[in-house]
């Protein structure tokens, strides 16, 4: 029998691979798509060139006062001069090293979550981050001067609120989700009541209650810090949404997984910790990240109770008589900062989904 050598496989036509194929299949696959592609290009052509002209071409980047901004372009001198307030608020100049160290520790935590192997190290790092941040930023012991939370502000305050809210609300949300799935009527009823009650009111109402109503329940002479009251309200508010995300993940787990865990003789908490919850959290990752992104953006609501987050600091500095009319540059800067953080969270969630994906799609 004659043996013929195998021929080398040819690459697909140029129109079926690479960028050309992507454009054909996603933008030009039908008359409907072609119409909206051209419409989108027309809209972008109307928006992008004027924005580039205002933000870059005709913009002013160098100077120290409003008088250094000439022409019709953006005055990024305002952002440069007020950047320290945007980031740290009214935090004392001599103690800024504590705020910078806190941000460095937060960045280091991300590297630990990325490269550390043992799970207990990751969990411990996440738990210790808010504690270390509070110790460094507030001080009052270990030789650190006390810095009242009223002087915290800007991006620093936004990160503190969102980080503490995420870390504390997640375990509470998990317990509420398990309570809602419980077979014990009292626990299930209380969990359902709490979740539906909290999800039925806006966050702004919860913040007002935490700031005004909550102190009325404290014993006389006890008064929590305004920031702590806001953190309590945000934590318990977000926990209700996280509980529903986790519950969705629990319902997606096949019944066979529960039966297999029972067949192994695992107790309830062992079954949940080792078998069910890891799978439920993996399924719920997109919804959880969406909730975390929403929490990060909702931190701007704290300005209604007198806390100056990033957005509030921009509004405050724009009212400076020496920089009147600079609100637009400040809001564009805030939008860019929020986009960087939310996009990073979304990108990380996609990477995490791929990393935890155990489905065989071949």
pLDDT, one tens digit per residue, over 308-354 is 888 888 888 888 888 887 888 889 999 999 999 999 888 888 887 77
CA 107 to chain centre: 14
Alpha carbon distance 302, 158 (integer Å): 9
User: Model confidence over 258-291: pLDDT tens digits?
Assistant: 888 888 888 888 888 888 888 888 888 888 999 9
Interval 71-103: pLDDT, tens: 788 889 888 888 998 998 888 888 888 888 888
CA distance 5 to 7: 6
For residue 207, give the nearest of 226, 234, 227, 228 by alpha carbon. 234
pTM: 0.83
Q: For the chain, which domains are there?
A: 16-57 (no CATH), 76-91+147-356 (1.10.3720.10)
- 60 by DSSP, 3-state: which? strand
């Amino acid at each position: 029998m004659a043996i013929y050598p195998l021929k080398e496989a040819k690459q697909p036509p140029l129109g079926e691979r690479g960028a050309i194929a992507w454009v054909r299949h996603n933008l030009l696959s039908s008359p409907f798509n072609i119409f909206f592609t051209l419409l989108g290009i027309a809209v972008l052509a109307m928006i992008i060139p004027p924005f580039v002209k205002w933000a870059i071409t005709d913009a002013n980047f160098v100077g120290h006062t409003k008088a250094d901004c000439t022409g019709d372009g953006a005055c990024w001198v305002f952002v440069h001069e007020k950047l320290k307030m945007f980031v740290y608020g009214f935090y004392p100049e001599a103690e800024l090293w504590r705020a910078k160290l806190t941000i460095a520790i937060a960045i280091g935590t991300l590297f630990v979550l990325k490269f550390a192997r043992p799970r207990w190290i990751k969990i411990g790092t996440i738990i210790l981050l808010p504690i270390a941040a509070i110790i460094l930023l507030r001080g009052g012991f270990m030789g650190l001067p006390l810095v009242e939370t009223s002087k915290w502000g800007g991006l620093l305050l936004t990160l503190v609120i969102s980080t503490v809210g995420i870390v504390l609300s997640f375990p509470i949300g998990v317990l509420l989700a398990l309570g809602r799935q419980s077979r014990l009527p009292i626990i299930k009823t209380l969990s359902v009541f709490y979740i539906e009650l909290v999800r039925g009111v806006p966050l702004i109402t919860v913040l007002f209650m935490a700031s005004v109503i909550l102190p009325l329940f404290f014993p006389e002479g006890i008064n929590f810090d305004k920031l702590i009251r806001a953190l309590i309200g945000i934590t318990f508010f977000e926990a209700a949404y996280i509980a529903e995300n986790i519950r969705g993940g629990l319902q997606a787990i096949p019944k066979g997984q529960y039966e297999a865990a029972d067949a192994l003789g695992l107790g309830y908490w062992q079954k949940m910790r080792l078998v069910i919850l890891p799978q439920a959290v993996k399924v719920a990752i997109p919804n959880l990240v969406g909730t975390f992104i929403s929490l990060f953006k909702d931190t701007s609501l704290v300005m209604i109770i007198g806390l100056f987050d990033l957005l509030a600091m921009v509004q405050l500095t724009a009212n400076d008589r020496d920089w009147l009319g600079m609100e637009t540059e400040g809001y564009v800067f805030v939008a860019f900062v929020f986009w960087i953080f939310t996009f990073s969270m979304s990108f990380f969630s996609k990477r995490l989904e791929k990393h935890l994906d155990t489905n065989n799609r071949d």
